[in-house]
Amino acid sequence: MVVLTSAERRQPKKMAHGHKTPHQARQRATVVPLAARGRGNARITAQTHLHADTVRTSRGRFAHGGIPALADRKRSGRPARFPVTPIQVAEDKAVACRLPAETGVPLARRSCDEDEYVISDDEKTPFQARCHPTLAPGQTRAMRGNHTYGRGGALAYLAAYDVHHAKVFGRCEPRTRIAPFMNLVTQVMSREPYASATLVYRVVDNGSSYRGKKAANRLATAFPNAVLVHTPVHASWLNQTEVYFSVVQRKVVPPNDVTDLAQVAERLRAFEDRYDATAQPFQWKFTTSDLNDLLTRLHRHTADHPGKASTALAARPTHEGLPEPTTKRGTSRR
């Protein structure tokens, strides 16, 4: 039987109802007060709708380690690629957010050479063809939709985004794999100015279509002036094509009232033309003031909790040759 002291009675309840408590730790904390009331595992399982193994394990962890044992245990995971502290990472970002002239470099700004380009590649799937008719809004009536619809298949949408010129190159494919991605690369690299450019950086996340060293070698073999750059894990938002996809999701996808895949592809192609005619590059929103605030919080956190590393900062990019980024998640001017 689980026995709680007077000091321990409030802690499981606080964990079970805490907004910042991890989900699994919250489940384990729910079990403890019920077990302290003398209820068996079967009854707790029925009352909390948890798995019997979860209930049994939670009781055992509390019996051996008390309240601290209810928290999530450390996992091994992959070691950090760069053994640096959060302060060092933030200081590196501080250098990136300053003008080169302030650091003794005789340049006005960091950017690509005129003969170099940065293109973000990404894929979005599935785009479904659904005949889902809607009733247009009236004078006193909002737009109405029917819950029934007819299926017309699905396709993948691949897009390449020139981050400095707000130029989109898109194509629709039956699925997302290596061959469709290389089709997108060929579509871009076979035209000027990319075909004769000195370097074209292709920024991708860690999707299966272009993951790892093999993908980089495959791209370099097909196009010697192309360099594949992978974003850090859990930092795919650095790929600006995701920002473009968010615009597509809001302005193109709804309502789902297309009859076939050809109509889906035509709608996407028409939006690309409109976007290219009106859009401007996404604007960087993370200012030096934001960075100073971040550094201040990190210094305060380090002073209050010495030896504890913050996990809030993303790892460095995997390619040191990528030009200094000039944009981040934001909104385009159209």
* 287 vs 53, more confident: 53
Q: Judge if pTM exceeds 0.75.
A: no
Of 332, 284, 226, 231, the closest CA to residue 109 belongs to 284
Residue 252 has what pLDDT?
A: 82
Produce one character per residue of 277-312: b if its CB has 16 or more CB atoms within 10 Å, e if not: eebebbeeeeeeeebeebbeebeebbeeeeeeeeee
* 290 vs 171, more confident: 171
CB atoms within 10 A of CB 10: 11
* pLDDT-derived band at 109, boundaries 50, 70, 90: low
Of 74, 75, 63, 72, the closest CA to residue 26 belongs to 72
Sign (positive/negative) of CA torsion 282, 288, 291, 297? negative
* 55 vs 329, more confident: 55
* pLDDT-derived band at 80, boundaries 50, 70, 90: low
State yes or no: pLDDT of 251 exceeds 80: yes
Q: What is d(CA 31, CA 58) in angstroms, rounded to the nearest whole number?
A: 7
- Give tens-digit pLDDT for 192-210: 999 999 999 999 998 889 9
Of 157, 153, 217, 207, the closest CA to residue 184 belongs to 157
* pLDDT-derived band at 244, boundaries 50, 70, 90: very high
* 8 vs 296, more confident: 296
Alpha-carbon torsion angle 68, 69, 74, 75, nearest 10: -160
State yes or no: pLDDT of 146 exceeds 70: no
Q: What is d(CA 13, CA 10) in angstroms, rounded to the nearest whole number?
A: 5
